[in-house]
Structure 1
């Protein structure tokens, strides 16, 4: 009584076809398959990234090395405005 028999599955499948239509069922199954493939690839990519040491936290430099490092001063640059060429104005026609 706790398990579903073949008749139960057929009734459930018939209800799905009746509610969603036979034309939408292949598209829905295809979309579900794509979603599962994308999910699996993302999970495997996350697992491979977590096992590589490249994602480890960067090693912090001691404070003494940071204080001794020279600080680059920003250079001021002078920007000259470019001369613009005025377009000739249209002169009114005389009558």
Structure 2
């Protein structure tokens, strides 16, 4: 009862051709194949990333006076900001008070 015979398969194919048109079916099959290849390559890349071991770097916590001794940081413009704006140096602790 649940099996499809050759007559039912031919009927389903005729309905698909009538719905989508004979010209669009090869394009749809081609795009489906491209999508499947992209999905497969992305899944393979994700597996490769998971198998790579990344080294863990432990950083000592900063000492209380170390921030005053460090060089001032430069703040760069973010994506979407004005491209011609110059970089801005971060104000020191003395300037904040």
Same-fold call, TM > 0.5?
yes
Query: What residue ranges of structure 1 are gaps of 5+ in the alignment?
Result: 76-95
Aligned residues: 71
Kindly indicate whether structure 1 or structure 2 has the higher relative contact order, using CA contacts under 8 Å at least 6 residues apart: 2
Query: What residue ranges of structure 2 are gaps of 5+ in the alignment?
Result: 75-97
Instruction: Indicate the residue corresponding to 1:41 in structure 2.
Output: 41
Q: Deviations over 1:30-72 (max 9, x none)?
A: 0000000000000100110011013x6x433232xx3286512
Instruction: Indicate the residue corresponding to 2:31 in structure 1.
Output: 31
Rounded to whole Å, the distance in 2 between the matches of 1:74 and 1:20 is 60
Q: CA deviation at 1:5?
A: 1.4
Tell me the TM-score normalized by structure 1: 0.64
Structure with greater strand percent: 2
Instruction: Indicate the residue corresponding to 2:14 in structure 1.
Output: 14
SS at match of 1:53: coil
Tell me the TM-score normalized by structure 2: 0.62
Instruction: Report the aligned-residue RMSD.
Output: 2.3
